Amino acid sequence: MSDNSLLDQNTHFFGDVCKNFDYAAKFTKHDAGLLDQIRSCNSVYRFRFPIRRGNGFEVIDAWRVEHSHHQSPTKGGIRYSEFVNEDEVMALAALMTYKCAIVNVPFGGAKGGIRINPKSYSVQELENITRRYTVELIKKNFIGPSIDVPAPDYGTGEREMSWIADTYATMNPGQLDAMGSVTGKPIALHGIQGRREATGRGVAISIRECVGVAEDMQKLGLPTGISGKRIIVQGLGNVGFYTAKFLQEYGGVIVGICEFEGAIYNADGLDVEAVFQHRKATGSILGYAGAKQEFKNSGEGLEQPCDILVPAALENQITAENADRIQAKIIAEGANGPTTPEAEAIFYAKGGIIIPDMYANAGGVTVSYFEWLKNLSHVAFGRINRRFEENNNLNLVNMVEGITGISLTPAQRATIVKGSSELELVNSGLEDTMIRSYHEIRETYKLEKIDTLRTAAFVGAINKIAVSYQNLGVWP
C-alpha cells in the first residue's frame, strides 16, 4: 500500500475517542489548554523497515504512539494486523491513557502496531519483524522499563513479548531491569501468573459488578446477579474465551458465540470449552453439535435474544446500522472501541447500559502493572511472606482448637493454613481493582447526573490526569 493511499483512508476511530472526550470535558471545570494537552497524542512515531523474503525484500509499515506522559512509563500493546493504521494506533493509545487512570494504574497511555497478517509469515519471519521493530523503538528511545513498556494485543502474545524482551536486553547489556521493558511475557521469562486470562477475568468481574446493582437492574427489567443471565460473546480469542469461561463459572448462560467465520446459538446454553476445542480441531465454530442455530454472517449472531452482549473482537462492531437490532440490555465492551458513538446513543435511547471498554477490559493492563512491579523488584509475589503467613495461620488454628476442643480434619487445616500463591494474590488485586473502579465510575454517573457510564469514566479519568499535569507544572 502506498503512502498516498494511507493518507486517503477514511479513518475516524481517534475522532470518535476525541468526540467522547470533548463531551465528557463539559462536565469538568478545566481550562481549554489543559484539556487540549490531555486529549492530544504527545508522540507519534511512524516508520518503515525492510525484511528479507525469499530472494527479495518486503517493506513493513509500523507505528508506536505515546499519548500522554503525565505518568511514566507509558504503557500499551502492540497489534499485528493488516488493517492497522495510524488513526487506530492513536485512538488505542488515547484509550490506554484513560484506561490506566480509571483503574488507578500509574502509566501514561501508548500503543504500537505493525501492518502485517501474522498468518502470512513463517515463525522465523515474524521473529525477524518483531526484533527489527524493537530495535527501531530502541533507536528512538521509545521502549524501556522507565520509558515505554509494550504488551500483547491483537495478533501478538507471549512469544512476541519474549522476542522483544530478549532484543531489548541484548541491546542494553547489564541493565538490571531489562525484563521490565515489556509485559505479557511467559512465566519462564519473568512473566506473572494470571496475565494470560487477566483481561477476560476483568471483563467478567465488570459484568458481575454491573448486574449486582439492584437499582440499575430494576430499570432494565432484569433480576439482580449474574446467575441465569443469557450472554452472547463475540470473539473466541484470549479475551472472549476467558470472559465466557468465567461468566459461565459465575452462573451465566453462554447462549451465543460469534467469530469471523460465523456464529452459533443455543438458548439453553453452550459449553464454552467444548466450542473452543471444536474450533481448535476444525478451524471453525460452525458445525458444533451443541448449537441449535448457525449463522454464516457473524453479525447476525450479535442480534439474537440475550441479556448481555460482550463484543470482544475488534472495534466498530456495533454501529448505527445494527444497533436497533441488538436485543441485549447490557453491552460489556471486551474489545477496544466496539461501539460507535452513534450506536451508543441509539442503545441508550432503547434503555440499555454499556460497560465501557476503558474500564471493562482494563484487567490486562492492571496485571501488566503487577508484572512490571515484579520485574522491578526481582521477586515473585508471595515468595517472601507465604511461609510466614502459613505459620501464623497454623498457630491461630492450634489456638482455636485448644480453646474449643474441636479438632479440624487435615483437609480443613490445609485449606485454612495455606498461604497465598502469586496467582491468588494477582487475582485478588485484579478483583479489588475492578470492583473499586466500577463503583467509582457509577458514583460519578449518579452524582453528576451524567447520561452514560462511558462519559462518567471519561470524567473521572480527565480529572485524575488533570491533577497530575497541574502538579507536574510546565518545564521550562
Is 27 exposed, middle or buried, given 0-12, 13-18 or 19+ CB atoms closer than 10 A? middle
Rg (CA), the chain: 23
Nearest CA-CA partner of 367 in 457, 418, 432, 456: 432
Cell triple for residue 470?
Answer: 497541574
Cell triple for residue 178?
Answer: 531489562
Cell triple for residue 68?
Answer: 500522554
Distance CA 80, CA 119 (A): 10
Q: CA–CA distance from 405 to each of 275, 306, 400, 402 (Å)?
A: 51, 53, 8, 5
Q: Which residue type does 234 have?
A: Q
SS3 of residue 265 by DSSP: strand
Please say if 75 is a catalytic residue: no
Do 115 and 82 meet the contact criterion of CB atoms below 8 Å apart? yes
Do 326 and 307 meet the contact criterion of CB atoms below 8 Å apart? no
β-bridge mates for residue 76, sequence order: 150
Asked if the bond preceding 150 is cis, omega within 30° of 0, the reply is: no
SS3 of residue 339 by DSSP: strand
What are the backbone dihedrals phi and psi of residue 70, each rounded to the nearest 5 degrees, phi first? -70, -20
Active-site residue, from 111, 245, 329, 374: 111
For helices 363-377 and 422-447, what crossing angle results, to 10°?
130
Buried b (16+ CB within 10 A) or exposed e, 161-179: bbbbbbbbbebbeeeebbb
Nearest CA-CA partner of 465 in 49, 34, 171, 168: 34
> Hey, which residues are catalytic here?
111
